[in-house]
Each structure stands twice: as C-alpha cells, then as structure tokens.
C-alpha cells in the first residue's frame, strides 16, 4: 500500500519544487495539493470535486496562505474527530517563535523550516521520508481495526 500525502501550499513555485522532489525521492507516494486551508478541508471532507479523494496519511502544511491560513486549518482539523488523527507536519519558511509555539499548541505533529534552495529542500523531504514512512500511522491502525474507514 502506497502512502498518500496532502501538501497544503499556496506558492506555485514551491508546489512545483515539491512535486519534482516527490517524483525523485518518494516515488511510491501519492502527492495531492491544496492551495489553501479551505481547499484542504474540502479535500479532507471529500466535498464536491474531491468526492473520490484519498484520505491522506500525512499532511504537509504551509502556515501563511490566503483564505484560511495554516493556524486556522490546524485548529479546525484538530477539533474534527474524523480528521484529527492525521499527522500534520508544518513545513514553512517562517522562523518566528510565535509560529512555532502556536503550531504545537494547535497540535501540529512537527514543525520544520522550509529551506530556500532545492538541494536543502530535497534533503528536508528525505528526512520526512526517513521518519514518516517508517512509523505506524494512525490511519493504518484505524484501517486494520475498522476496515469500513477509507
């Protein structure tokens, strides 16, 4: 079974870099993209055009986005019983202490600063792969104990 990752990112340049890195580094991972928190919620809730969206095993979340930013998204997801078990890794260029603290207060699984150059970003994604592909994720346990969940 392959892993599903939802990237929540509004910067098209960063989206393109992440797609390229995923094609190189995480060949067995499906990467879906949402451009802001509202679009990501629609994806997670399988609304409208997202009716057949796969449930992500992991969410990579930028903080500073239009419509609904990463903090607001975290607050909504972590209050939703059907979604809160999905690990969310904040992957952002922000180095502000307030952003780090707020992300963890809102139950982010991890906070990683997004490097500015391709090589460093690729190394950061490899570190995410090395950790998150080798842990038992909550959705995997839920599927094993309750096959009706998808």
pLDDT of 32 reads: 96
Q: Is domain 3-145 classified as CATH 3.30.70.20?
A: no
Q: What are phi and psi of 92, to 5 degrees?
A: -140, 160
The CA radius of gyration of the chain, in Å to the nearest whole number, is: 15
d(CA 92, CA 111): 8
- Tens digit of each residue's pLDDT (9 = 90 or more) over 13-33: 999 999 999 998 888 889 999
3-class secondary structure, 113: strand
d(CA 54, CA 114): 25
pLDDT of 39 reads: 95
pLDDT of 150 reads: 52
pLDDT of 16 reads: 93
- Strand extents, DSSP E, the chain: 3-8, 29-34, 58-61, 88-92, 110-113
Taking the model in full, what pTM does it have? 0.86
Residues of the chain with pLDDT under 50: 143-145, 147, 149
């Amino acid at each position: 079974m392959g892993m599903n990752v939802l990237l929540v990112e509004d910067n098209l340049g960063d989206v393109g870099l992440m797609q390229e890195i995923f094609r190189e580094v995480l060949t067995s991972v499906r990467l879906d993209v949402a451009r802001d928190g509202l679009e990501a919620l629609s994806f997670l809730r399988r609304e409208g055009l997202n009716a057949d969206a796969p449930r992500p095993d992991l969410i990579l979340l930028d903080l500073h986005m239009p419509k609904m930013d990463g903090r607001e998204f975290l607050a909504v997801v972590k209050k939703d019983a059907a979604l809160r078990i999905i690990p969310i890794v904040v992957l952002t260029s922000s180095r502000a202490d307030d952003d780090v603290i707020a992300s963890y207060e809102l139950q982010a699984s991890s906070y990683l600063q997004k490097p500015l150059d391709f090589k460093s970003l690729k190394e950061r994604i490899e570190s995410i792969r090395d950790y998150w592909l080798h842990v038992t994720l909550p959705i995997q346990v839920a599927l094993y104990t309750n096959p009706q969940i998808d």
